[in-house]
Amino acid sequence: MINAMFVVWRESFEAALVVGILYSYLKKRPEGAAKEQALNFMWLGVLGGVLLSVILALGINYAETELQGIALEQFQNLMLVAACVLITHMCLWMKIHGRKMKSELETGMKEAMDSSKKYEIAILSMLAVAREGSEIVVFLYGVAFEAMEKKMMSSLVVYALIGFVLSIGTWWVFNRGLKFFSQKVFFNVTTVFLLLTASSLILNVTRKLIQSDYLPTIKDVAWDTSGFINEQTSFGQFISGLTGYQSTPALMTVIVFVLYWIMTYGIYKFLIRKECVAKQAVQAA
Amino acid sequence: MKLLISLALLSNVAFADDLKIIELHIKNHKYDLEKIEVEANKKFKLKIYNDDSSSEEFESKSMVVEKFIGPKKSITITIGPLKPGSYDYFADFHPSTGKGILIAK
């Protein structure tokens, strides 16, 4: 359940980052009705984003109560895949847009303020909150399902709250620009952690599909590294929970793992190239 | 790739039937078999019946299995190949009563 803390931590941090940029931009505007209105739109967007996430959570919850047995299991597998895709997408997006996110957001704000379309500010903050919020919802779903059955919902809520408080703390430190806190290190470390989490999600789905005979193993044991890290030890279980490590993976699992990283890397390279082309086009114009 | 997968599927189906099936019942939140012996390094199937009117989850940390079983339902899972050793399993919703050990020899 400590995973819940990490995910809530980084996701809320990103939402806070975006809202923080919008807020400090608006704070610097000259006083007046326009500023008041813009700030109201911003908070409205935050509220809308939270609301959208809650609606998603309710929708998933509804689907869950309607489904049973195998259908429920497939639904859960689907949610795990969705969480994997969302987390990977978020990491790639931040890697490419993160550096100029601030200037992009401020350009959007300036355009909204200059035109009469101030409601666009609400859309900006709503999208930021809803995106991170829906990722939290989809990821926590699997954990929450288990927690509810075991009547351990309160400890899950506590972990999620710790993650939330940590994100506020990180955000505060971040804004202070304290020397010991390196933005680059924070993002790189959490990106590696989140990509590993994402790949472990897809490996979990693969294992479940193999156990239910939906997927062939191709070769039952591709290799055996139990002499190196053994899942029977508590250290091995920790590593396995964090990364999806298996000492005797099926060949199918290995293929899924390799495909995940090739695809993630490929999409990353593709986006970088697209970004470069777009930049050159702007410079040429 | 497609060919590879379909070939693999075929070969899997071909020997899937040869797997040994072990039947396990859950009654009053207890497993009827609390000690199971299987052949090491060989895949096998567990068919688990939940005879209770409450739902249960078959779970084993050492075999890395977690499977929900509805009331009066049964499920089948493919496990292994396991290395020689002992593997614990338990009933996740009633861990104090439902537990057992599987030994791979």
Using the Cβ of A216 and the Cβ atoms of chain B, whether some distance falls under 8 Å is answered with: yes
In-domain check, residue A189:
no
Mean pLDDT of chain B, nearest integer: 85
Confidence at residue A107, expressed as pLDDT on a 0 to 100 scale: 87
Q: Provide the residue ranges of all domains of chain B, joining segments of one domain with +.
A: 20-104
Hey, is A229 helix, strand or coil?
Answer: coil
- Listed by number, the residues of chain A in 102-141 with a beta carbon closer than 8 Å to a beta carbon of chain B are none
What Å distances lie between residue B104 and B18, B38, B41, B82, CA to CA?
18, 5, 8, 7
Residue A99 has pLDDT above 60, yes or no: yes
The closest of B59, B66, B35 to A207, measured between CA atoms, is B66
Band (pLDDT 50/70/90 cuts) for residue A118 is: confident
Q: Phi and psi dihedrals of B40, rounded to 5?
A: -70, 155
Q: What pairing do the DSSP bridges indicate for beta strands B65-69 and B56-60? A: antiparallel
pLDDT at A265: 94
Distance from the Cα of A249 to chain B's closest Cα (Å) equals 10
How many domains does the structure of chain A reveal? Answer: 1
- Per-residue confidence (pLDDT) for residue A160, from 0 to 100: 85
- The rounded Cα B2 to chain-centroid distance in angstroms is 30
Mean pLDDT over A171-191 rounds to: 77
Q: Is residue A280 part of a domain?
A: no
Contact flag A149-B57 (C-beta cutoff 8 Å): yes
Q: Read off the pLDDT of each residue in B74-87 and give the average, rounded to a whole number.
A: 90
Residue A198 forms part of a structural domain = no
- A150 has pLDDT over 60: no
* Closest CA–CA distance from residue A253 to any residue of chain B (Å): 13
Q: Measured between beta carbons, which residues in chain B are less than 8 angstroms from residue A224? A: 83
> Chain A to chain B, count of Cβ pairs less than 8 Å apart?
49
B3 pLDDT above the threshold of 70: no
The residue that leads in pLDDT, A3 or A112, is A112
pLDDT tens per residue across span A240-261: 877 888 888 999 999 999 999 9
What pLDDT shows up at residue B14?
A: 46
* Section A34-56 average pLDDT: 91
β-pairing, B30-31 vs B20-27, is antiparallel
Q: What is the pLDDT of residues B22-52, one digit of tens each?
A: 999 999 999 999 999 999 999 999 999 999 9
Asked if B83's CB is within 8 angstroms of A216's CB, the reply is: no
Give the structural domain span for A95: 2-179
Whether the per-residue pLDDT at B17 is higher than 60: the answer is: no
* Mutation target vs A (from B7, B12, B93, B94; most A CBs, 10 A cutoff): B12
Tell me which residue of B91, B60, B76 sits closest to A149, measured CA to CA: B91
Rounded average pLDDT over B75-86: 90
When mean pLDDT is compared across A112-121, A125-134, A159-168, the lowest value belongs to: A112-121
For A158-162, A176-180, B85-89, which range has the lowest pLDDT when averaged over its residues? A176-180
Nearest CB among A73, A231, A252 relative to B68 is that of: A73
Beta strand spans in chain A (E): none
Band of pLDDT at residue B79, cut at 50, 70 and 90: very high
pLDDT at A241: 73
What is the arithmetic mean of pLDDT over A182-186?
A: 77
Q: Do B79 and A211 touch (CB under 8 A)?
A: yes
Average pLDDT score, chain A: 85
Contacts of A237 in chain B (CB under 8 A): 61
Q: What is the pLDDT of residue A26?
A: 87
Pairing of the two strands B56-60 and B30-31: unpaired
Q: Which residue of A has its CA nearest to B16?
A: A213
A58 in the Ramachandran plot: left (φ > 0), alpha (ψ -120 to 50) or beta?
Answer: alpha
Task: Please determine, for residue A55, whether its predicted confidence score (pLDDT) is greater than 60.
Answer: yes
Distances (CA, A) of B96 to A184, A212, A240, B89: 47, 27, 25, 12
The percentage of residues in chain A with a pLDDT greater than 70, rounded to a whole number, is 93
More confident residue, A121 or B18: A121
Residue B66, H or E segment: strand B65-69
Nearest residue on chain B to A218, judged by CA atoms?
B8
Exposure string for A162-186, b = 16+ CB within 10 A, e = fewer: ebbebbeebbeebeeeeeeeeeeee
pLDDT digits (tens, 9 = 90+) for A57-80: 888 888 877 887 778 888 888 888
- Mean pLDDT confidence for A94-120: 82
Q: What is the pLDDT of residue B46?
A: 94
- Output the CATH code of domain B20-104: 2.60.40.420
Is residue A258, in this structure, part of any structural domain at all?
Answer: no
Look at residue A33 and tell me if it is in a domain: yes
Residue ranges of A 14-73 with Cβ closer than 8 A to chain B: 68-69, 72-73
- Assess if residue A86 is contained within a domain: yes
Say what the pTM is: 0.77
| pLDDT beyond 60 at B2 | no
d(CA A47, CA A192): 31
